[in-house]
Amino acid sequence: MNGYAGKILRINLSDHTYKTENLDHEKALKYIGGRGLGSRIMAEEVPPTVDAFDPKNKVIIATGPLTGTPAPAGGRYMVVTKSPLTGTIASSNSGGYWGSELKFAGYDLLILEGKSPKPVNIFIEDDKIAFKDAGHVWGKIVSETTSILAEEAPDKAKILCIGPAGENLSKISAVMNDINRAAGRSGVGAVVGSKNLKAIVVKGSSRPKIADSEKLKEVVKESRGKIKDNGVTGQGLPTYGTAVLVNIINEGGVFPTNNFQTTYFDKAENISGEHLAENFLVKRESCFACPIACGRYAKADEIEGGGPEYETIWAFGAACGIDDMKSVIKANYWCNEMGLDTISAGVTIAAAMELYQRGKITDEEIDEGLSLKWGAADSLVSWVKKMGRREGTIGDKMAEGSYRMAEHYGMPEVSMAVKKQELPAYDPRGIRGQGLQYATSNRGGCHVRGYMISPEILGLPQKLDRFAIDGKAEWVKIFQDLTAYIDSAGLCLFTSFAIDAEGYAKLTNAVLGTDFTQEDLLEAGDRIWNLERDYNLKAGIDPSQDTLPRRLLNDPIPDGPSKGNVTRLEEMLPKYYEIRGWTEKGIPKPETLEKLSV
């Protein structure tokens, strides 16, 4: 089988057994792999109404057909499961080197079932699978777990694990790999933790078969050339990383500050990508087969590690009114060590700060020596650690994410989340397509299900008026569908700044020997989108949740370059439902599901 490894490894954690199954090639081509195929298997095997922490929930770790091939930035894998944060289907994506290694070991997907009676690690070396006691690493932070297991593993094995946050069932915990790469969102780490699984160590010796190696060489050369020549992927991201967005988004007055109360941060320069590069950057880092190398490795005092990324800088920075880059770098580091989603962690602290501002959290509840005042940089790291370990009254509530915490204090509207998942670093009141995208994302508040920032702010592939309504539904659908394909193929979304759907079709065909057109890829994305939607509806996530926090719908931006605007979601949503082939109420029509053969 070309591209695919051709095998699924099904692991039963309850009795520590496993079996391998052949990949259904026809189904794989229909759902591509990664997010799409993982979601398809979830729909077949896991009842949508299952509780995320029920042993009947499964964790599907899925590579795509291009993972581990020479295709540029083809090192991604997905963690697909039922989310404890949102109640939707979750698929969280990560880079690094673990995903490609799983493919090299001969597997497209791992399906993790049941619950281990006690903490366990899984070691995979090609067809040798071993279950080993994890008592000695349970409770340990990610870097320590990784070093200990590296000693027990074959040379150059790759390690995926959860941190204390996942063990403690934090609903905003991540699955970590290669120490500082994260399948970050939707609380996937907690589902792994609920199964008493600490780590998966993998080492592989094979390489995926390529349908037409000569053709692939030619197509890879062409796409690498496009990546190099593109200003964003060839210069911007390599030089400054994602953090370069801080100033751009702030200059447009859409940089949410103090938990989205304002949208222009007058101290943004202190947390900018330029400031990071000049003062804290140690080196760049790249993932498997990636010519972009957007990864940062930064140092602040005694702390050094991977990151921070733009979203993280914003979440711990402007969202909390903080302009101290050292504290942001340290908070990012401790999120990685605890295995926490940096976006949700930062936005949850920001929500706690607003609850304090509004008198809902009182001084008596706050741990001694800590602060929840806007700009309280010195407390950031402590809050992250307490969240990860569920220490103290506030830390324990923060571990549940902003929505449940704010609901506890009787002010759920303070949670800047969609479907209970915290929003990222772009205020949709001044970027209207992004607002529609947030509201309709199948995993709740998220920017990488359809990155409308690209056309609405960056002008790629063409510049759209960010305040316009017309045409946005169509753009959002195309971005969501193409992204679903990229996520399923095993590629990094950042390649899409330089490569278009036709380029992806060429790469895919050279690897798989298929003759997909760009329309076929978009149709596969549309199919995946509808499958996820169908699963969510069956899980009880009704379309009334296709909305945004009240503040973004009702309160005009108070000042700055985007002053006076609200999101105007209600003007875009009907059109979006219509072009999706859904009813006015947001339910996929039977003929739509039939046409896409979901």
CA 171/CA 187 separation, integer angstroms = 5
Tokens 């609903």 -> residue: 171
- Which phi and psi (to 5°) does residue 164 adopt? -55, -35
Q: Kindly tell me the sign of the dihedral angle through the C-alpha atoms of 305, 310, 313, 316.
A: negative
Nearest to 174 by CA among 47, 42, 326, 309: 309
Counting contacts by CB under 8 A, is residue 463 touching other proteins?
yes
CA 180/CA 307 separation, integer angstroms = 8
CA 145/CA 136 separation, integer angstroms = 9
Do the Cβ atoms of 17 and 528 come closer than 8 Å? no
b (16+ CB within 10 A) / e for 405-438: bbbebebbebbbbbbbbbbbbbbbbbbbbbbbbb
Which one-letter amino acid corresponds to residue 369? G
What pairing do the DSSP bridges indicate for beta strands 109-113 and 7-12? parallel
Counting contacts by CB under 8 A, is residue 443 touching other proteins?
no
Which among 143-151, 328-336, 385-393, 556-564 is the span making contact with other proteins, rule CB under 8 A?
556-564
What pairing do the DSSP bridges indicate for beta strands 197-203 and 421-422? unpaired
Counting contacts by CB under 8 A, is residue 54 touching other proteins?
no
Among residues 70, 164, 184, 236, the one that binds other proteins under rule CB under 8 A: 236
Among residues 409, 494, 504, 516, the one that binds other proteins under rule CB under 8 A: 494
Q: Which is nearer to other proteins, 109 or 243 (CB)?
A: 243
Rg (CA), the chain: 22
Q: Which is nearer to other proteins, 239 or 592 (CB)?
A: 239
Nearest to 329 by CA among 352, 346, 312, 344: 312
Counting contacts by CB under 8 A, is residue 72 touching other proteins?
no
Among residues 105, 289, 387, 448, the one that binds other proteins under rule CB under 8 A: 448
Q: At what angle do helices 501-512 and 472-489 cross, to 10 degrees?
A: 20
Counting contacts by CB under 8 A, is residue 458 touching other proteins?
yes
Counting contacts by CB under 8 A, is residue 290 touching other proteins?
no
Q: Which is nearer to other proteins, 60 or 343 (CB)?
A: 343
Which among 225-233, 372-380, 481-489, 539-547 is the span making contact with other proteins, rule CB under 8 A?
225-233
Facing residues of 61 across strands? Answer: 79, 110
In the numeric block, which tokens belong to residue 440?
Answer: 């309709």
Counting contacts by CB under 8 A, is residue 232 touching other proteins?
yes
Which among 17-25, 66-74, 220-228, 232-240 is the span making contact with other proteins, rule CB under 8 A?
232-240
Counting contacts by CB under 8 A, is residue 407 touching other proteins?
no
Among residues 112, 244, 528, 572, the one that binds other proteins under rule CB under 8 A: 244
Counting contacts by CB under 8 A, is residue 469 touching other proteins?
no
Grouping H, G, I as helix, E, B as strand and the rest as coil, residue 283 is strand
Counting contacts by CB under 8 A, is residue 242 touching other proteins?
yes
Which among 133-141, 149-157, 164-172, 448-456 is the span making contact with other proteins, rule CB under 8 A?
448-456
Counting contacts by CB under 8 A, is residue 95 touching other proteins?
no
CA 171/CA 518 separation, integer angstroms = 37
CA 413/CA 399 separation, integer angstroms = 18
Q: Which is nearer to other proteins, 409 or 451 (CB)?
A: 451
Counting contacts by CB under 8 A, is residue 470 touching other proteins?
no
- List all residues 6 or more positions away from 515 whose beta carbon is below 8 Å from its beta carbon: 509
Counting contacts by CB under 8 A, is residue 181 touching other proteins?
no
Q: Which is nearer to other proteins, 382 or 454 (CB)?
A: 454
Among residues 303, 460, 587, 593, the one that binds other proteins under rule CB under 8 A: 460
End-to-end CA distance of the chain: 23
Q: Which is nearer to other proteins, 87 or 455 (CB)?
A: 455
Among residues 114, 119, 166, 273, the one that binds other proteins under rule CB under 8 A: 273
The helix or strand, by DSSP H or E, that contains position 420, with its residue range, turns out to be: none
Which among 4-12, 267-275, 506-514, 582-590 is the span making contact with other proteins, rule CB under 8 A?
267-275
Counting contacts by CB under 8 A, is residue 243 touching other proteins?
yes
Counting contacts by CB under 8 A, is residue 238 touching other proteins?
no
CA 259/CA 49 separation, integer angstroms = 32
Size of the site for other proteins (CB under 8 A): 44
- CA 174 from centroid of its chain's CA atoms: 9
Tokens 């990864």 -> residue: 295
Distance of closest approach, residue 274 Cβ to other proteins, in angstroms: 6
Counting contacts by CB under 8 A, is residue 237 touching other proteins?
yes
Among residues 1, 50, 129, 248, the one that binds other proteins under rule CB under 8 A: 248
Counting contacts by CB under 8 A, is residue 561 touching other proteins?
yes
Counting contacts by CB under 8 A, is residue 500 touching other proteins?
no
Q: Which is nearer to other proteins, 431 or 541 (CB)?
A: 431
Nearest to 451 by CA among 518, 497, 502: 497
Counting contacts by CB under 8 A, is residue 562 touching other proteins?
yes
Q: Which is nearer to other proteins, 18 or 314 (CB)?
A: 314
Distance of closest approach, residue 247 Cβ to other proteins, in angstroms: 5
Counting contacts by CB under 8 A, is residue 311 touching other proteins?
yes
- List all residues 6 or more positions away from 486 whose beta carbon is below 8 Å from its beta carbon: 492, 493, 495, 496, 504
- List all residues 6 or more positions away from 199 whose beta carbon is below 8 Å from its beta carbon: 121, 122, 134, 137, 145, 149, 159, 160, 161, 162
Q: Which is nearer to other proteins, 458 or 593 (CB)?
A: 458
Instruction: Give me the residues that bind other proteins (CB under 8 A), please.
Output: 230-233, 235-237, 239-245, 247-248, 251-253, 269, 273-274, 294, 309-311, 447-448, 451, 453-454, 457-460, 463, 465-466, 493-494, 497, 560-562
